[in-house]
Structure 1
Amino acid sequence: MSKYNASKLRQMKTGVEKIQHGQLKTNIPAGMATPGPPLGPMLGCRGINITTFCKDFNEKTKDIKDGIPMPTRVHVNPDRSYKIMITKPPSMYYLKQAAGISKGTINPKKETAGMVTLKHIYEIAAIKQTDENLEFRSLEDICKMLIGTARSLGVKVVKEIDPDEYQQFLEDRSVVLEERKKELQELKESKMLRTS
C-alpha cells in the first residue's frame, strides 16, 4: 500500500511541474473579464487564481469603454504570480470603428464593406505608434500596414468622403447583408430538411 501511495505522490509532483509557465497572449474585452470559458481554462491550466486575475484586469481597464478588445500578455512566474501587460486595441478594431461597420467583408476583392479617409489612417497610425511592437517603425510604414489591413477587411481608403453619400452606402450595404443572411438561413434549413 505504501508503494502505491509513493508512486501516486510522484505522479502528482510531475503533474504539478507540468503546469505551463511563460507568456499567455489573448484578446480580452475591456472590463468584461469573467472566470468562464475561454479565459478561465487558459488561466487555470497555468495555475493562476482566475477570480483574482479577472478583478485585476477589470480594475486596470475600468477607464476604457466596456467590450473593446484589449490585446493582453500575461507573464506567469513559477510561483503562480503574474504580470499583466495591456496594449492598445488591434488596428482592425480602429478601422471598423472609423468605417462605421461591425464586420468586414467575406470577399474583399469584389465587395466594399466601408470606407475610411487617409486622415483616419494617419490618426490610427499615430495611436498605434505608441504600441510596444511598433514604436521603432516610421509613421509611413504603419500607415502602409493599416492600408493593407483595411484592404483585407474590404474597407476602401479614399481621400475624402461625402457624409450623405456614405450614409446611403451604409444603408444599401445593410440591405445587402440582410438579404445574404436570409439566403444563408434558407440554405441551412434546406440542408436540415434533407438530412432528416
Structure 2
Amino acid sequence: MLIKIINKFKIQLTGQKATPNSFLGSILGPYGINIIKFCQEYNLLTKSFLNLQVPVIVIIYSDKSYKLKLKTPTLSSLINKYSTGINKKYLDKEGLYKIISIKQKDFPLLSFIKIKNHIYKSAQFLGVFCNI
C-alpha cells in the first residue's frame, strides 16, 4: 500500500515544553494524531533547546503516522537567551559566536561575516546592543 502525504505544516513550540493543549489538538486532532505521543516525541527531540522557540515541520501521512523535522531555534529566542547585562540588553562576543555556531545550519552558503551581520541587525531590532 502506498502511503501518501496528507499535509505538511510548520509550527513553533517551546523546547521541552510541549503539552497536549487546545492549540495542538485543533491542528493534529483532525488527522487522528495522538497528541500525547506527539508532545513526548517533540520534547525528547528538543532536549538541548530548553525554553527556546523551535520551529518544527510536521509531515502527516495517510496511515495516521507523522514525521518531525526540527529546525534550529529562532534567532530572537537565541538572542534573548545569550543576552547579558542589566535587563538583558547586551550581547557579548561569546554569546554572538554561540549563536553563529547554532545558526550556521540555516545559512550554509553565507560567510561567517554575513551571518554575524544578520544576527547583529536582528539584535538591534530587538533592542539588544551588540559590540562586534
TM-score, length basis structure 2: 0.79
Matched residue SS, 1:45: helix
Unaligned runs of 5+ in 2: none
State the Cα distance separating 1:152 from its structure 2 match. Answer: 0.9
Q: Distance in 2 between matches of 1:25 and 1:47?
A: 18
Once the two structures are superposed, the pairs formed by residues 157-196 of structure 1 within 5 Å of their partners are 157-159=130-132
Partner of 1:173: none
Partner of 2:30: 45
Task: Say whether 1:83 aligns with 2:67.
Answer: yes
Matched residue SS, 1:123: helix
| Larger strand fraction of residues | 2
Does the CA-based 8 Å contact 1:34-1:40 persist in structure 2?
A: no
Partner of 1:125: 100
Summarize the Cα distance change of 1:52–1:91 in structure 2 as closer, same or farther, 3 Å threshold: same
Matched residue SS, 1:25: strand
Partner of 2:53: 69
Summarize the Cα distance change of 1:135–1:46 in structure 2 as closer, same or farther, 3 Å threshold: farther
1:141-196: CA deviation from partner (whole Å, max 9, x where unpaired): 2111111111110111125xxxxxxxxxxxxxxxxxxxxxxxxxxxxxxxxxxxxx
Q: Which has the larger radius of gyration?
A: 1
Unaligned runs of 5+ in 1: 1-19, 104-112, 160-196
Q: Distance in 1 between matches of 2:130 and 2:44?
A: 37
Summarize the Cα distance change of 1:136–1:78 in structure 2 as closer, same or farther, 3 Å threshold: farther
RMSD over aligned CA atoms reads: 2.4
Partner of 2:16: 31
The one of the two structures with greater contact order (alpha-carbon pairs below 8 A, sep at least 6) is: 2
TM-score, length basis structure 1: 0.56
Task: Say whether 1:152 aligns with 2:103.
Answer: no
Q: Distance in 2 between matches of 1:58 and 1:115?
A: 30
Q: Distance in 1 between matches of 2:39 and 2:8?
A: 17
Partner of 2:45: 60
Matched residue SS, 1:88: coil
Summarize the Cα distance change of 1:26–1:38 in structure 2 as closer, same or farther, 3 Å threshold: same
Q: Distance in 2 between matches of 1:90 and 1:97?
A: 11
| Larger helix fraction of residues | 1
Matched residue SS, 2:73: coil
Matched residue SS, 1:35: coil
Q: Give the aligned residue type for 2:60.
A: V
State the Cα distance separating 1:118 from its structure 2 match. Answer: 4.1
Q: Give the aligned residue type for 1:143.
A: K
Structure 1 runs of 4+ aligned residues shifted over 3 Å read none
